[in-house]
Structure 1
Amino acid sequence: MNDTSTTAREVLQDRLANILGPGGFLSDDESRTLHSADLFGAGGRVAAVIRPASIEELSAAVAEIAHAGLALMPRGGGLTYVQGYVSQTDGAIAVDVRRMNRILEIDEQDLLITVEAGVTWMQIYDALKPRGLRLPFFGTFSGRGATVGGGLSNGALFLGTARYGTSAEIVLGMQVVLADGSILHTGQTAIQTARRSFTRTFGPDTTGLFTHDAGALGIKGVVTLRMMRAPAHTDYLSFGFQDRDAAVEALCEIGRSELAEDCYMMDPDKTRAALSAPSDWVKDAKTLMKVVSQEKGLLRSLRAGAQLAMAGRDFIEDGCYSLHMVLAGRTREAVEGDMALARAIIAPSGGKELPNSIPKAGRADPYSQLDAVIGATGDRWVALNAKVAHSDAKPLVDAVESLIARHQSELDARGVVVSRLLTVIGNHVFSYEPVFNWHDTWLPGHHAAISAQVKATVAEPVANPEARSLVIEVRSEIVELFASFGAQSNQIGRTYHYADILRPEARALLQGIKHVIDPENRVNPGALGLGA
């Protein structure tokens, strides 16, 4: 709006306020500040925030903004740290879809659920659980606040990922608002006579174009996802390794064997952090009760509760790489068979079976409180991630660990702790995620997410520009290393290389699509490296 006259700006504001209704158009300083930054840093200051409550409102508002020629910055739950919705210049309009939070249809006959893009993964989970249904991939740890639209734009993964893949594998169709305000249907409802999005590959996969696009091609409004009947039985395994290479190979082999819904490994620092958070006995008791309630049968329930209570938080040795699995199936016998096979795979690798407290408690309460945007002592954190084939797992880990080791003394001196989370995706992908923690002043997104209870007990650290600069430096080097491996990364945003490392033919195709649907480059310009 800074590029328009005062009169034109006021006219546009009035029109947007009329379209969006009370609470739908924000131009106060606090809202603009919040929507001008993510959980890593601030960018250009947005001129205003629109908060549509339906795809019709979104379409109408975008059409008005198109006449003014202003950039649009789509935003889901606002919980990312890759500058994906942060403008590089002042004057853009932030598009906050969190008021588009209705579940539009649950079709139990066709196992389809249609939702607005601002619905959270937790909303869907809670709505489907009483019906005995679930999404195959059913969200991220941040699914209490993370939205479906944001997850599809950023390659969301974790819960169910080891067996069913990522958010991209469960979406069948979308309604996407383009730069001019028009609504594009993808998947089967692109066909004029189709009534529902029950498949996405009748002809070229137009739905796939808008998965993992960082919101650079359009703004997701309505999404149809496939459902499944929830597994009848679930169990858990944990193992400890003293040797990192053995642990990585065991993780990959479990992935190749397709045994688990979740399969992940924590390095010693990550394991310690998972177990050493300040004890909240009210929360611990609630988790214990959830563990008990999810078990089938009275004896199993009592045994599960007793095992979790007895394990406590002090059962893992120093230097332990801990590997955790969630195994699920239609029968108890099937799950026990998978557990036996998992133990047989782990045994030659030297893994020691541990109490299964971490995966069991994680599934009992799968969506973290949003307070988790900071660490237990108020520290900030940001993560990086790379996905490679299993054969590249060890070379990737070795290369990144060597890079981190070169900076270790400086990281220690500035109080930066690097931990690692390793996972598998389906039976063919290995994921490596280094996480940087350091004490530093909080950003607006942290303040918005952290509860009053935590703010009352955890002090905000003072500004720490030296540690922050070091994190930026090491992070940038790791991003370059990931690119040299040809790795995939989720949450591309403006952090990872993408358009600039595509082969010329692929880049020309993507740029051509962008030009057709956004000829003035107004939808999230610069994301994916497009139209920066």
Structure 2
Amino acid sequence: MPLLNKSTLTEKLIVVLGASAVKTDQDSCVLYSQDVYAKDKPCAIVIKPSCAKKLSQAVSIITQGGYSVVARGGGMSYTGGYVPKEEHSVVVDMSALNNVLEVNTKDMYVTVESGCSWEKLYLTLKEHKLRTPFWGTLSGRFATVGGSLSQNGIFWGSAQHGFAVDSVLSLDVILSDGTTLTTGSAAKKGTQPFARHFGPDLTGLFCNDSATLGIKTKATIRLIPEALHKGSTSISFTEFNHQAELMSEVARQGLASECFGFDPFLQSQRLQRESLGKDIKSLFGVMKAAGSVGKALKAGSKIALAGRDFIESECWSVHFLVEDWTEQGVELKLNKINQLAENLQGKVVENTIPKVMSANPFGPVNNMVGPKGERWVPIHALVPHSKVQEAYLATEAVFNKHAALIEQCNIGIGYLLATVSSTVFVLEPVFFWPEALNELHKHALEPAHLKRLPGFAANPVASNAMAVIRADLISKYAESGYIHMQLGKSYQFKQVLDAENYQLLTDIKKRLDPNNRLNPGCLGFD
């Protein structure tokens, strides 16, 4: 396919989108071509369409001109999903497609443009005392609905309701030639997007694909009522295996809406990041969320008295949030969790962390760097409950293999743990290393927080060491049969998927995107 001259392509895009929606300056092309971890070739052009119709026209122009198209949500991912592989790429900044189009309280669904942040959607639905089952990632102030569906995501609501993609009913997707495909019941002309399954599940086809099969412009998601009553508990352990077993048992019994845990290192990193001023602001949020003056004073006094030493520094910790229609139901669940913990040698501690996080679900993304400005990146494995201990030992074996390199380059390693619905355990090693921040960090962090960080000079030796350890761990997970969300361009997929399955996906890709112009490099489509 002949490649269109960049200036000619730019002119064509300006005609469709307007001059303010098309950027070719170096700073924009560099910023929008990197994620939290990866940075490769800057794109040629960045576009910011304001409506799906204009985007479909633009996609047609771009792909006919021989350029690739890469959709970017909130930019909070770290597996290279939207990092262009080719210089002749156009990155689509989806942030202007951010409207909540319909809140249907009778049929219990919401339709939203895919550039809408989870925070905006949550606040809009809160006015109706409704929410989506999965209701956002921790980075939901920036992270978008479309980004989470392309990469898949977990956190708020995941322990009970599953992954981000599990709540979706219908999608509008732009294909590589600019045509739009609608999935779910809405694919039948004149029918509302109230049901996901009308024949084979085409909605699922366009989830977890890093926008390599199509660009999602609109999503319809189920609604559920907000729970009337909420509660939380925190447990500390001296051993990983006891904490993991508690998390698995709580997941099997469906007791928690959210479940997440830290190892001692990650716990200390989190506490180092926070300041007294942040504590006070968080305390006000907790008291406001308590619902009454008496409850607010009780919640506030407990946190104030607990201070910063509510969990011993050498302990693992796990935190549960529960929901129910009655206060008694909440108490029953919390008592059950605490009893299970006691049977596993756990110690109930002040539940400061879940209270603060629940009261402030979409805070700043300052935690995307370490407490002194270290670079940060996670890797994860999704495993069944029966494989958790095996996965932990396999991970530790890789770290032991590289122990000298880790010490030499001052790489810090912690663990974030979570569960998804009743069947999935998430083991997420988290890395911190001394290295200069990139443009995305400087763009996304709060300016005052960024100014306080000591920071580091460029450190290619440590970054190269990180890349070696990261690649080795990813290979170990692939060899062990573990799977992943957020496949992007980092995790092995083509290499580990059954040949028949990958051939079917290849055939679909060729049908939808015959010239491989939608995010080439993702899912092994080179």
State the TM-score, normalized to the length of structure 1: 0.96
Secondary structure of 1:106's counterpart equals strand
Q: Please, which runs of 5 or more residues in structure 2 have no aligned partner?
A: none
- Contact 1:19 1:57 (C-alpha < 8 Å) held by counterparts: yes
Q: Deviations over 1:149-182 (max 9, x none)?
A: 1000011111111001011111111100110000
Deviation at 1:450?
A: 1.9
**Contact 1:420 / 1:434 at 8 angstroms: preserved in 2?**
yes
Match of 1:443 in 2: 438
- Find the partner of 2:42 among 40, 45, 50: 45
After superposition, residues 120-269 of structure 1 pair within 5 angstroms as 120-194=117-191, 196-269=192-265
1:460 offset after TM fit, Å? 3.4
The residue that corresponds to 1:418 in the other structure is 413
Instruction: For residues 112-135 of structure 1, give each alpha carbon's deviation from its aligned partner in whole angstroms, at most 9, with x where no partner exists.
Output: 111111000000111111221111
Partners of 1:389 and 1:263 lie apart in 2 by 16
Long gaps (5+) in structure 1: none
Aligned residue among 315, 321, 329 for 2:324: 329
SS at match of 1:216: coil
Asked whether the 8 Å contact 1:251–1:263 carries over to 2, the reply is yes
2:65 is aligned with 1:68: yes
1:374-393 to structure 2, matched below 5 A, reads: 374-393=369-388
Choose 397-406 or 416-425, whichever is displaced more: 397-406
Equivalents in 1 of 2:153, 2:269: separation in Å?
23
Q: Deviation digits for residues 39-94 of structure 1, max 9, x if unmatched?
A: 21322221101111111111111111122121111111111111111122211111
Q: Is the 8 A contact 1:2 1:47 kept in 2?
A: no
Q: Contact conserved, 1:373 with 1:449, CA < 8 A, in 2? A: no
Counterpart AA for 2:407? D
Amino acid at match of 1:438: W
Aligned match of 1:34: 31
Q: Does 1:110 align with 2:107?
A: yes
In structure 1, how many angstroms separate the alpha carbons of the residues matched to 2:99 and 2:371? 33
Partner of 1:311: 306
Q: Which amino acid counterpart does residue 323 of structure 2 have in structure 1? A: A
- Cα displacement (A) at 1:274: 2.0
- Quote the RMSD (CA, aligned, Å): 1.4
Q: Note the C-alpha offset of 1:22.
A: 4.1
Separation in structure 2 between the aligned mates of residue 487 and residue 191 of structure 1, nearest angstrom:
37
Following superposition, the deviation at residue 11 of structure 1 comes to 3.1
Q: Does 1:286 align with 2:281?
A: yes
CA distance in 2, matches of 1:490, 1:106: 28
SS of the residue 2:303 aligns to: helix
| Aligned mates of 1:246, 1:394 — CA distance in 2 | 10
SS in 2 for 1:56: helix
Are residue 514 (structure 1) and residue 509 (structure 2) matched? Answer: yes
Cα distance, 1:456 vs. partner? 2.3
Matched-pair contact (CA < 8 Å) for 2:2–2:66: no
State the distance in 1 between where 2:455 and 2:57 align.
41
Residue equivalent to 1:275: 271
Cα distance in 2 between the residues matched to 1:278 and 1:238? 19
SS at match of 1:172: strand
Structure 1 distance, partners of 2:145, 2:284, is 29
Tell me, yes or no, if the aligned pair for 1:370 and 1:449 is still in contact at 8 Å.
yes
Q: In 2, Cα distance between the equivalents of 1:426 and 1:506?
A: 25
Distance 1:518-1:171 versus aligned 2 partners, 3 A rule: same
Q: By how many angstroms is 1:28 displaced?
A: 0.7
User: Alignment identity in percent?
Assistant: 34
Aligned to 1:357: 352
State whether residues 39 and 446 of structure 1, in contact with CA within 8 Å, keep that contact through their aligned partners in structure 2: yes
Q: Is the 8 A contact 2:258 2:321 kept in 1?
A: yes
The range that moved more, 17-26 or 490-499, is 17-26
Q: 2:495 aligns with which of 494, 500, 503?
A: 500
Deviations 1:84-106 (A, max 9, x none): 11122211111110111111111
Taking a change above 3 Å as real, the CA distance of residues 105 and 319 of structure 1, as seen in their structure-2 partners, is same
Contact 2:35 2:80 in 1 (8 A): yes
What is residue 4 of structure 1 aligned with on the other side? 4
1:430 equivalenced with 2:425 (yes/no): yes
For the Cα contact (< 8 Å) 1:79–1:445, is it kept in 2? no
Q: Secondary structure at the match of 2:20?
A: coil
Deviation at 1:193, TM superposition (A): 2.6
Alignment partners' CA distance in 1, 2:303 and 2:276 = 15
Q: CA deviation at 1:291?
A: 1.1
Which amino acid in structure 1 is aligned with residue 490 of structure 2? T
Q: 2:53 aligns with which of 52, 56, 59?
A: 56
> CA shift at 1:305, angstroms?
1.2
Is the 2:3–2:66 Cα contact (8 Å) retained in structure 1?
no
Q: Alignment partner for residue 92 of structure 1, among 89, 92, 96?
A: 89
- 3-state SS of paired residue (1:427): coil
- Equivalent-residue separation in structure 2 for 1:448 and 1:63 (angstroms): 31
Compute the displacement of 1:405 (Å). Answer: 2.1
* Equivalent-residue separation in structure 2 for 1:420 and 1:372 (angstroms): 14
Pair 1:468 & 2:463 matched: yes
Query: What CA distance in whole angstroms lies between the structure 2 residues aligned with 1:370 and 1:19?
Result: 34
1:16 partner letter: L
- Between the aligned partners of 1:107 and 1:445, the Cα distance in structure 2 is 36
Checking the alignment, whether the CA contact within 8 Å between 2:261 and 2:418 is kept in structure 1 is: yes
In 2, distance between residues paired with 1:413 and 1:422? 27
Q: Which amino acid aligns with 1:4?
A: L
Give distance in 1, aligned partners of 2:282 and 2:42: 41
Residue 416 of structure 1: how far off its partner (Å):
0.6
Aligned pairs for 1:470-485 (under 5 A) are 470-485=465-480
One-letter code aligned to 2:15: N
After TM superposition, give the deviation of residue 343 of structure 1 in Å.
1.4
Cα–Cα, structure 1 residues 284 and 139, in superposed 2: closer, same or farther, change >3 Å?
same
C-alpha separation in 2, matches of 1:96 and 1:397: 37
Moved more, 321-330 or 481-490: 481-490
Q: Which moved more, 1:315-324 or 1:232-241?
A: 315-324
**Matched residues, number:** 526
Task: Give the SS at the match of 1:224.
Answer: strand
Shift of 1:500: 2.2
For residues 38 and 298 of structure 2, the distance between their equivalents in structure 1, rounded to whole angstroms, comes to 46
SS at match of 1:222: strand
